[in-house]
């Protein structure tokens, strides 16, 4: 299994002939290393409905006939735009030929904002994602604050790789994310959701120093890990 980071919270997973994108926010993402027009995705996993996570989902999914997996309300909204979806809810898991997807809770918000009409559309509960394939488990926390049930997630799942936000203001900051890493007991932790915009500037290497030796993995856009 190959895992590539594309900046912000965008993660690409390649497993068993399937290409999966998590939260493909590329257009308007100043740190992204790829363009939405170049993405070939079989599956898209979404943590919540904010624009910096849904991003280019509709364009990518319609062009590739990608299957989009997300919360029920977010899937309804995307299906109205002609996207093929598979709706799920927190605590539930689904099995596919490419692996297992389970949604976890996350403490954040989830909505689509139309600034022209000044309308906010509710898109369901925000989630984290547990993805398992090839006997490896990846946890993408989405946007979240620290919550104590991360201990339970770490107890129930042997996490090989975790993506945790460290930007602060809208998500965990480095100190809280370091505690989350301890509770999750992940073998490797990659910081995400930082330095995309000035209001959540962080030093990822300082964060990595807060973790057990060898656990923190700082990836720059385009960097790849093999699990």
pLDDT by residue (tens digit) across 77-122?
A: 999 999 999 999 999 999 999 999 999 999 999 999 999 999 999 9
Task: Check residue 213 and give its pLDDT.
Answer: 97
Domain 2-216, CATH 3.60.15.10 — does that match?
yes
What's the mean pLDDT in 116-135? Answer: 97
Task: Check residue 56 and give its pLDDT.
Answer: 98
For the chain, give every domain's residue range: 2-216
Across all residues in the chain, what is the average pLDDT? 98
Q: First CA to last CA across the chain, in angstroms? A: 5
Task: Check residue 45 and give its pLDDT.
Answer: 99
What's the mean pLDDT in 150-161? Answer: 98
Task: Check residue 12 and give its pLDDT.
Answer: 99
Listing DSSP states for 155-205 in one string gives HHS--SEEEEE---SSS--HHHHHHHHHHHT-S-EEEES-SSSGGG---HH
Element at 87 (helix H, strand E): strand 84-88
- Locate 78 and state its tokens: 């995307």
- Asked if 141 and 128 count as a contact pair (C-beta separation under 8 A), the reply is yes
Determine the Cα–Cα distance for residues 120 and 117; give it in Å rounded to an integer: 9
Global pTM? 0.98
Q: At what angle do helices 72-79 and 57-64 cross, to 10 degrees?
A: 60
């Amino acid at each position: 299994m190959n895992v590539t980071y594309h900046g912000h919270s965008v993660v690409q997973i390649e497993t068993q002939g399937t290409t999966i994108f998590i939260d493909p926010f590329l257009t308007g993402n100043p740190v992204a290393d790829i363009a939405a027009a170049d993405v070939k995705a079989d599956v898209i996993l979404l943590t919540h409905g904010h624009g910096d996570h849904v991003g280019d989902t509709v364009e990518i999914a319609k062009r590739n006939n990608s299957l989009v997996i997300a919360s029920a309300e977010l899937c309804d909204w995307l299906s109205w735009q002609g996207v093929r979806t598979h709706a799920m809810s927190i605590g539930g898991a689904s099995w596919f030929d490419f692996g297992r997807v389970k949604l976890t809770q996350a403490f954040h918000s989830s909505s689509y904002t139309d600034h022209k009409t000044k309308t906010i559309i509710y898109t369901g509960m925000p989630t984290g994602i547990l993805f398992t394939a090839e006997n490896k488990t990846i946890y993408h926390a989405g946007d979240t604050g620290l919550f104590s049930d991360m201990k339970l997630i770490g107890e129930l799942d042997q996490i090989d790789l975790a993506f945790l936000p460290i930007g602060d203001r809208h998500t965990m900051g480095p100190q809280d994310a370091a505690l989350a890493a301890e509770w999750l007991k992940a073998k490797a932790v990659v910081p995400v959701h930082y330095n995309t915009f000035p209001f959540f500037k962080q030093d990822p290497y300082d964060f990595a120093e807060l973790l057990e030796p060898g656990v923190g993995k700082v990836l720059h856009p385009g960097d790849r890990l093999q699990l």
